[in-house]
Chain A
Amino acid sequence: DTEVTQTPKHLVMGMTNKKSLKCEQHMGHRAMYWYKQKAKKPPELMFVYSYEKLSINESVPSRFSPECPNSSLLNLHLHALQPEDSALYLCASSREGTGGPGSGNTIYFGEGSWLTVV
């Protein structure tokens, strides 16, 4: 089973709202990721958690706040977003969070959460 589950599938929020995206995997993976994908573009890495610790933050604005409560769960808390933040947010996981080039750790993606900021 290579399933990463994301909820909600669709979210519409106002610029003053606070909401959260949730992600879950039960593959025993120790690395989890958030990616942002705009229309007609490849995904862009936002955050990486390795062994439940934040290991990479790709200079993401503070209105996006990640949280990893345990090794199976990953949240993305949203506050005071802008319309340009509207995008598909993809969660992913992999067996290990580190490893050199060629280590071949496969990253498995969820179906994504479509976010619209109005």
Chain B
Amino acid sequence: AQSVTQLDSHVSVSEGTPVLLRCNYSSSYSPSLFWYVQHPNKGLQLLLKYTSAATLVKGINGFEAEFKKSETSFHLTKPSAHMSDAAEYFCVVSEYGNKLVFGAGTILRVKS
């Protein structure tokens, strides 16, 4: 069975500093991996996805993630945090039949 572990439940950064949200996955297959963001009282928005093409995936709003098979990781990064990045971020792996397996989520706080 597939699983996802988000290593930090909360991350706090200052505006303008780099963001790193960590995600490890477990999968028996070649996985599809996604990062979604959820702003307060909103639905989920797709940030980026990995589907066995380039290992470095660029997403919206300056985010990117690197797929590392040897480390079973898919960490999300952004060079410079903005106040509007404050939200909850979910790392997700896709199972057969499009069943999504969600990580527990990481709440990102951005300090001014």
Q: Please indicate the chain B residues that have their CB under 8 angstroms from the CB of A43 in the complex.
A: 44, 100, 102
Whole-angstrom CA separation of A92 from B41 in the bound complex: 16
Q: How many pairs of residues, A versus B, come closer than 8 Å at their CB atoms?
A: 82
Inter-subunit contact A112/B96 (CB<8 Å): no
Residues of A in contact, count (CB < 8 Å): 33
Q: How far is the CB of A48 from chain B (nearest CB, A)?
A: 7
B84 interface residue (CB < 8 Å to A): no
Stretch in A12-20, A68-76, A78-86, A96-104 touching the partner: A96-104
Whole-angstrom CA separation of A7 from B41 in the bound complex: 15
Inter-subunit contact A112/B95 (CB<8 Å): no
Stretch in B16-24, B26-34, B75-83 touching the partner: B26-34
| B contacts, CB < 8 Å to A | 2, 27-32, 34, 36, 41-46, 49, 51-52, 90, 94-100, 102-105
